[in-house]
Structure 1
Amino acid sequence: MSDDEDEDEEKENVGEGGEGKEIYPYGEYEGGRDDQLDRHGFGSALLPNGDIYEGEYHHGKRHGKGMYCLKNGARYIGTWRKGLKHGKGDFLYPDGSKYSGDWKKDLKHGQGTYYFPNGDTYEGCWYKGLRHGLGTYTYKACNVTHYGTWINGRMEGPGILNYPYFRYHGSFDKNLPKGVGCFTFDAKYMQHGFYINMRDPAFDYVGAEELELEGGANQEENEYRGNPRGIVPIWRARSITEYKTELLPPEPVPLPVKESVESMIDIIDYLQKQYEVDGYQAEEEHRATPSPVPKELEVDLPDIDFDI
């Protein structure tokens, strides 16, 4: 919802400053006001769509600590700045998933953890609502973790897959391992080789337009799409050596993100968002879906003869 619609609506005559209660077609509000009759200080508001906000205001906008409850059962508890989620906060979804961490201009941004209903978790960096930077995704079902670099919501670049009894070190492309890498076993042996991504012959063709990421799809849905459909990684082993750290592929590294000065793109995106607000829908938060377990996590490694 836009701040113009719920914050700057016609005020009921409640006197100069102080507290007051307003009841009219635009919703209900009870709490403090400033000398201009804008909501100020602590207050509670019942919006026309059934959502509820209770917390601090600053000259007509949600600002400070507050709780926003959506009528569908979702709720945000945290800090606000100029009417937007900003700072530290928790967002709880109706399906039981939860995000806890940093926010900036209504988006997950900074450090945060997302808890999925199936037990999976992602802990790490976020940028403008997407997993971006260093992060760890834990697959509860198979007790495997992926630590590495994420770009625009996907595993990209150097990464490490931690299995219960061994590790894979290599690079990832669109959530799949790709290129040169190695498996390590108890810091004693290394199996070197490479991954190639091939089309799964069992995959039913559904049309090229459905294989591509829809540019107009919801951002949250795009973020959590899984592996490219119909593509599976195939491991090609080449040699086995003793464990040597100098033979390991490059480690994941943080992505350079300058937060001190906002770029023009940041400013344009923020200003554009103010014009794209459609009624109360701006308060809706779309839930995420967990990343599917990559195909290569579901298969056994080829037999290895460690007596070589």
Structure 2
Amino acid sequence: MSLTLSLSPSLPHAHLSPSLHPMSILRRLPTFPHHLKPLHLKPRRRYFATVAAAAVRQDTTVWTPVPLSEVSPAAESLFHISIDVSGAPDLAEGHTHAGQYLQLRLADVAKPTFLAIASPPSFASASGSFEFLVKSITGSTAEVLCGLKKGDVVEISQVMGRGFDIDRIQPPDAYPTVVIFATGSGISPIRSLIEAGFSANDRPDVRLYYGARSLKRMAYQDRFKEWEASGVKIVPVLSQPDGNWSGETGYVQAAFARAKQIYSPEGTGAILCGQKQMAEEVTSILVEEGVSSEKILKNF
């Protein structure tokens, strides 16, 4: 008797001739080339169990319909979005730490989007609203969201994530230097952090390196004075400034590399949010300067 194999790309599993007795098949299987064995012998039960578990996890998301209370320009390609959660106090109570986020979905749009909450945790309980800074990207759920108006209804999930673990850089006298880095819409959870407070006024050196393409793309400029009054020095960094700009230029990581000024690495903490390359390069610079990676905080 012979054993017939079919290795068609559209049919990845080998096919056995129906004329063979089952025991003959079992005796012949060990003679297969090694690379073919997983094709026959690897059980698929685990795969289907994983898919089923993932589907269950996805189904556990609780979606709550809520109205928009504001949609307005914040900067070029950026929008202020405010969502009324006064009718869902359990959602407001879920925002306990700066840096947390949630999912938002729209009718007739298949893919939800993740949004970092820009308002501080106390804001939701006081005002009944969540605020966001959203970048409108062509073809995305965010683009559709930024085109809506006050009163339109969206659906949001429960608040997610642990946020920035500020306890790791407390107390202030043990960590007198805190350097903060944000690019583009990554300033959103950083706003939440600054306005929630982390004893910045009790630290002699707190700097925010905030990168954008130009001033037209830099949100929250109207809040800079308030932030500086709270103890945070703002260092705007523009990658494509106009001719009148006299401040820092290039990328955030390059601006920080020029300044550094890390006089006590063991007493330094850092907080990052924004472009992946920026976060990776800033982390490398800090670690090379002697800052512990445990003191470099992210919100994910």
Q: When the two structures are superposed, what TM-score results if normalisation uses the length of structure 1?
A: 0.23
Larger radius of gyration: 2
Larger strand proportion, structure 1 or 2? 1
Larger helix proportion, structure 1 or 2? 2
Q: Which structure has more RCO (C-alpha within 8 Å, separation ≥ 6)?
A: 2
